[in-house]
Amino acid sequence: MDDKIIEVNKLSKYFGTFEAVKDVSFTVNKGDVFGFHGANGAGKSTTIRCILSLITPNNGDVKIFGESISTNRFEILKRVGSIIEKPDFYKYLSAERNLEIFARISGSDSTKKDIYKMLDFVGLNGREKDKVAGFSHGMKQRLGIAQTLLHNPDLIILDEPTTGLDPQGIIDIRNLILELKNQHNKTVLLSSHQLSEIEIIANRMLIINKGKSIIEGEVSKLLNAEELIVNIEVDNPEKCVLLISEHFPAIHIQEIKNNQLLIATDKNVIPDLTKALVAGEIQIFAIESKRKLEDFFIKIISN
């Protein structure tokens, strides 16, 4: 059985003369939590809209479950659940009614019992009959998740699912995604401009910038988990630089600013480095590791 769930091949979309997406290609495999990352306006939502046939690409093609979305849309979308940007509902209808409306055209036979069960699952039990107009943003996000999962899709596409959620809500969504992957064998395409989210839950990722794909691969391999960026604050930076150059040639000094050195190093070297600095009578005021992934992203984008 083919493990490729989403295959995007040289996808391009122009709005007038503006290149929103250019020659983007990537693959999402079965069971992946695929992180799709880029800055605001990078082309993430446009790409996802092309995948879901909301937008017609100018070039390229998209296959889901091995079938082209343009020719087999009906059968494909029965097995896909999605939230694009913020979930929008009919404000004048209740939560239950909203789910009923979307479920009716999702190709499933969801019953009232299923709807109530799903609302309970996302933490909206007791709010079934309430009009969505009175819901907070977080509640709407939960309802959006409910709408996405109600027909038990095989592929789940989430575009910025934690936007506007409180910390507990963010944790809940993350746990849910991991549960979907690990316990229900779902495939998830997760788009976010929060790198930390992707780092924690995604196993593969694509970075996109100004409409172009920059890099794709496994999160662990891309980040090389053994390497750290460390900030060291000392009393004598020049002496510290000399010591590192002589005894730790593998350490890469990235930046020296006042009494602080920014170095890239294997984490296993840090204990020996600390001992050497103390032995060389260099006073250490602080050692702290920076967010690796953010640096990686900034480096990739700037290159």
Please give the backbone phi and psi of residue 142, each rounded to the nearest 5 degrees, phi first: -65, -45
Considering the rule CB under 8 A, would residue 273 count as an interface residue with other proteins?
no
Q: Which of 24, 33, 63, 82 lies at the binding interface for other proteins (CB under 8 A)? A: 82
The residue (of 74 and 126) whose beta carbon lies closer to other proteins is 74
**3-state DSSP: the chain helix, strand, coil percent, rounded to 5?**
35, 30, 30
Considering the rule CB under 8 A, would residue 106 count as an interface residue with other proteins?
yes
Considering the rule CB under 8 A, would residue 133 count as an interface residue with other proteins?
no
- Within 136-155, the residues that bind other proteins by CB under 8 A are 147
Number of residues located near other proteins, criterion CB under 8 A: 33
Q: Which of 4, 60, 93, 222 lies at the binding interface for other proteins (CB under 8 A)? A: 93
DSSP category for residue 251: S
Distance CA 47, CA 279 (A): 55
The residue (of 49 and 63) whose beta carbon lies closer to other proteins is 49
Considering the rule CB under 8 A, would residue 77 count as an interface residue with other proteins?
yes
* H-helix segments, 16-158: 44-51, 73-77, 95-104, 112-121, 137-149
| Listed ranges 26-34, 76-84, 161-169, 284-292: which one lies at the site for other proteins (CB under 8 A) | 76-84
Site string for other proteins, 36-75 (x = CB under 8 A): -------------x--xxxxx----------------xxx
Spell out a b/e string for 38-65, using b for 16 or more CB atoms within 10 Å of the CB, else e. beeebbbbbbbbbbbeebebeebebbbb
Considering the rule CB under 8 A, would residue 2 count as an interface residue with other proteins?
no
Nearest to 123 by CA among 93, 145, 97: 145
3-state secondary structure at position 259: coil
Q: Which of 88, 166, 179, 218 lies at the binding interface for other proteins (CB under 8 A)? A: 88
Contact 54, 36 (CB under 8 A): no
The residue (of 189 and 232) whose beta carbon lies closer to other proteins is 189
Q: Cβ-count burial of 18 within 10 angstroms (0-12 exposed, 13-18 middle, 19+ buried)? A: exposed
Considering the rule CB under 8 A, would residue 217 count as an interface residue with other proteins?
no
Q: Which of 30, 31, 101, 130 lies at the binding interface for other proteins (CB under 8 A)? A: 101
The residue (of 107 and 217) whose beta carbon lies closer to other proteins is 107
Q: Which of 78, 252, 267, 299 lies at the binding interface for other proteins (CB under 8 A)? A: 78
Q: How far is the CB of 159 from other proteins (least distance, A)?
A: 10
| Joined tokens for residue 38 | 């880029």
Please give the backbone phi and psi of residue 236, each rounded to the nearest 5 degrees, phi first: -135, 85
For binding to other proteins (CB under 8 A), which residues are involved? 15, 49, 52-56, 73-78, 80, 82, 84-93, 97, 101-102, 104-107, 147
